[in-house]
Amino acid sequence: KLPWYADFVNYLVSGKIPNDMSGYQKKKFFRDVNHFYWDEPYLFKRGNDGLFRRCIAEAEVEEILYHCHGSSYGGHFATFKTAQKVLQAGYWWPSLFKDTQAYVAKCDACQRAGNISARNEMPQNPILEVELFDVWGIDFVGPFNPPSHGNSYILV
């Protein structure tokens, strides 16, 4: 199956216009194609913010959504936050928000955990990790009774 962006790539590479388009579809096609840039082997789309994001075929969507939602980078956030992570990672496809909503809705871990009430909610700040040991954490444990060697706390 051809990716959704095949017509854009064909036009940008060879100037070939799809034959099976109506007048309105051609007008929309030429308006839209101005936002795309072909850099072998990827197609990029310029977003409203001016950034270029790689266009993703349907076959890659599931893996990208996993990494931006279910992995340690993702953090199991809701639809909008997960879609933001996809955009921040430099990816785009036309049904991004719809696919993200469907993915979050079928996430087993999210469905089991359910919604956290505002009273029990802890502030969640995403951690951007690039490499192993890029992020470190530190915490205190204690007090311990009786103190061992005069120490009541452990720095972990």
Judge if 93 and 142 occupy the same domain: yes
What CATH number corresponds to the domain at position 75?
Answer: 1.10.340
Per-residue model confidence as pLDDT tens digits over 134-154: 777 888 888 877 766 778 888
Judge if 14 and 88 occupy the same domain: no
Judge if 67 and 1 occupy the same domain: no
Q: How far apart are CA 152 and CA 144, in angstroms?
A: 5
* HSE-up (13 A, CA, CB side) for residue 151: 7
As a whole number, mean pLDDT of residues 6-24 equals 92
Q: Let me know if residue 121 belongs to a domain.
A: no
Lowest mean pLDDT among 9-23, 48-62, 132-146: 132-146
Q: How far apart are CA 41 and CA 57, in angstroms?
A: 12
Beta bridge partners of 141: 154
Judge if 50 and 15 occupy the same domain: yes
pLDDT at 131: 72
Q: Let me know if residue 20 belongs to a domain.
A: yes
Q: Let me know if residue 122 belongs to a domain.
A: no
Q: What is the pLDDT of the chain when averaged over all its residues?
A: 87
